[in-house]
Structure 1
Amino acid sequence: MLTSESSSPYPEYNHKLQKDNVFLDTPEVTEPIWLEPKRGSIPRWINGIMYRTGPAKYKLDNDTVITHALDGMPFAHRFEFKDGKVRYNSRHIAASVEKALLEKTQVPLFVGYTPDKDSWMWKAPKMLEPPASDPAAVLAGETISAVSPVVPIGSGSTGEDGDPLVVVARSSGAYQQHIHSDTLEPKRAFKYGELDPQLEGMMSSSHAKVDPITREVVNFMAHPATGITVFSHQPKTSTTTILGTITHRKIPNTTTADPVPIEPSFIHSFWLSPTYVIIPEIPLRLKNGGMDAMQTGSFATGLAWDQGSPAYLHIVSRVEKQHVASVEVRPGFFMFHDVNAYEDQSNLVLDAPIFDDADILMHTHMFGSNGIQSTASSLPQQEEGENKMNGMTYPPRQGNIPVCRFCRFWIDTRTWQLKEHKVLADHFEFPAVARPMQSYRFAWGASGITPSSSRGGVQKFPQLGLVKVDIEQGTTTRFDKQHWACQEPILVSKPGSDQEDDGVLLTQVNAFDANGVENLLVIIDAKTMKELAVCVIGDFAATTLHGSYIDLS
Structure 2
Amino acid sequence: MSNATDRAYELGFRTVDTEYADRQLPVEGTVPSWLSGALIRNGPGRFEFGGKRATHWFDGLAMLRRYGFADGTVSYTNRFLRTDAYAAADTGHGAAEFATGDDSFRRPLRWLRSLGPPEPTDNATVHVAQLGEHFVALTEAPRRIAFDPVTLETRGEFRWRDDIPEHLATAHLQVDPNREETIGYSTEFGLSPMYHFYRIPNGRAGRRHVATVPAAGPGYVHDCSITESHIVIVETPLRIAMAKALVPWTDGFLDLLEYDEAATTRFIVVDWDTESLAATLETSPFFTFHHVNAYEDDDELVLDLVAFDDDQIVRALTFDALSEDGFAAAPDGRFVRFRLHPGEGRVRRSERYDGGMELPTVPKPVRGRQYRYAYAQATDRKGANGLVKLDVERGTATEWWERGVYVEEPRMVRRPGGTAEDDGVVIATALDTKQERSMLLVFDAETVVERARAPLPHAVPFGFHGRFFPAV
TM-score, normalising length: structure 1: 0.76
Q: Give the 3 Å change call, closer, same or farther, for CA 494–122 of structure 1 in structure 2.
A: closer
For the pair 1:25 / 2:10, whether they are aligned, the reply is: no
Deviation larger for 516-525 or 483-492: 516-525
Matches within 5 A, 1:204-215: 204-215=169-180
For the pair 1:195 / 2:161, whether they are aligned, the reply is: yes
Of 97, 116, 131 in structure 1, the residue corresponding to residue 102 of structure 2 is 116
Q: What is the CA–CA distance in structure 1 between the aligned matches of 2:123 and 2:320, rounded to whole Å?
A: 18
Of 360, 371, 395 in structure 2, the residue corresponding to residue 440 of structure 1 is 371
Q: Which amino acid aligns with 1:45?
A: W
What is the CA deviation profile of residues 457-510 of structure 1, one whole-angstrom value per residue up to 9, with x for unaligned ones?
Answer: xxxxx5211100111221111111000011000111111111111111111111
Structure 1 residue 204 displacement after superposition: 1.5
What is the CA deviation profile of residues 96-135 of structure 1, one whole-angstrom value per residue up to 9, with x for unaligned ones?
Answer: 313314335x65542222x235x653898699427xxxxx
Q: Which amino acid aligns with 1:195?
A: R
Secondary structure in 1 matching 2:234: strand
Identify the residue that residue 460 of structure 2 maps to in structure 1: 541
Secondary structure in 2 matching 1:296: coil
Contact 1:109/1:297 (CA < 8 Å) preserved in 2? Answer: no
Secondary structure in 2 matching 1:300: helix
Aligned length: 453
Larger Rg computed on CA atoms: 1
Q: Which amino acid aligns with 2:176?
A: D
Structure 1 gap segments, 5+ residues each: 1-19, 131-136, 151-157, 159-165, 249-261, 377-396, 452-461
TM-score, normalising length: structure 2: 0.89
Q: What is the CA–CA distance in structure 2 between the aligned matches of 1:140 and 1:122, rounded to whole Å?
A: 18
For the pair 1:218 / 2:183, whether they are aligned, the reply is: yes
Of 465, 470, 475 in structure 1, the residue corresponding to residue 396 of structure 2 is 475
Identify the residue that residue 5 of structure 2 maps to in structure 1: none
Q: What is the CA–CA distance in structure 2 between the aligned matches of 1:320 and 1:170, rounded to whole Å?
A: 28
Identify the residue that residue 243 of structure 1 maps to in structure 2: 210
Secondary structure in 2 matching 1:338: strand
Secondary structure in 2 matching 1:488: strand
Identify the residue that residue 313 of structure 2 maps to in structure 1: 360
For the pair 1:449 / 2:380, whether they are aligned, the reply is: yes
Identify the residue that residue 350 of structure 2 maps to in structure 1: 422
Identify the residue that residue 322 of structure 1 maps to in structure 2: 276
Structure 1 residue 536 displacement after superposition: 0.9
Contact 1:464/1:480 (CA < 8 Å) preserved in 2? Answer: yes
Contact 1:121/1:295 (CA < 8 Å) preserved in 2? Answer: no
Contact 1:208/1:218 (CA < 8 Å) preserved in 2? Answer: yes
Of 129, 138, 146 in structure 2, the residue corresponding to residue 170 of structure 1 is 138
For the pair 1:491 / 2:412, whether they are aligned, the reply is: yes
Matches within 5 A, 1:67-146: 67-103=55-91, 109-113=96-100, 115-116=101-102, 120-121=105-106, 128-129=118-119, 138-146=122-130
Secondary structure in 2 matching 1:449: coil
Identify the residue that residue 517 of structure 1 maps to in structure 2: 436
Q: Give the 3 Å change call, closer, same or farther, for CA 347–181 of structure 1 in structure 2.
A: same
Q: Give the 3 Å change call, closer, same or farther, for CA 279–217 of structure 1 in structure 2.
A: same
Q: What is the CA–CA distance in structure 2 between the aligned matches of 1:293 and 1:243, rounded to whole Å?
A: 36
Moved over 4 A (4+): 106-109, 122-127, 292-295, 366-369, 397-400
Q: What is the CA–CA distance in structure 2 between the aligned matches of 1:109 and 1:58, rounded to whole Å?
A: 10
Q: What is the CA–CA distance in structure 2 between the aligned matches of 1:178 and 1:286, rounded to whole Å?
A: 28
Q: What is the CA–CA distance in structure 1 between the aligned matches of 2:73 and 2:11, rounded to whole Å?
A: 37
Q: RMSD in angstroms over aligned alpha carbons?
A: 2.7
Identify the residue that residue 4 of structure 2 maps to in structure 1: none
Contact 1:293/1:300 (CA < 8 Å) preserved in 2? Answer: no
What is the CA deviation profile of residues 57-101 of structure 1, one whole-angstrom value per residue up to 9, with x for unaligned ones?
Answer: 12345x232232221111001111110011211100145313314
Identify the residue that residue 236 of structure 2 maps to in structure 1: 282
Q: What is the CA–CA distance in structure 2 between the aligned matches of 1:550 and 1:367, rounded to whole Å?
A: 36
Q: What is the CA–CA distance in structure 1 between the aligned matches of 2:204 and 2:327, rounded to whole Å?
A: 50
Q: What is the CA–CA distance in structure 1 between the aligned matches of 2:147 and 2:320, rounded to whole Å?
A: 26
Contact 1:64/1:102 (CA < 8 Å) preserved in 2? Answer: no
Q: What is the CA–CA distance in structure 2 between the aligned matches of 1:511 and 1:433, rounded to whole Å?
A: 25
Contact 2:135/2:148 (CA < 8 Å) preserved in 1? Answer: yes
Q: Which amino acid aligns with 2:184?
A: N
Identity value in percent = 24
Structure 1 residue 27 displacement after superposition: 3.4
Structure 2 gap segments, 5+ residues each: 1-9, 112-116
Q: Give the 3 Å change call, closer, same or farther, for CA 525–398 of structure 1 in structure 2.
A: closer
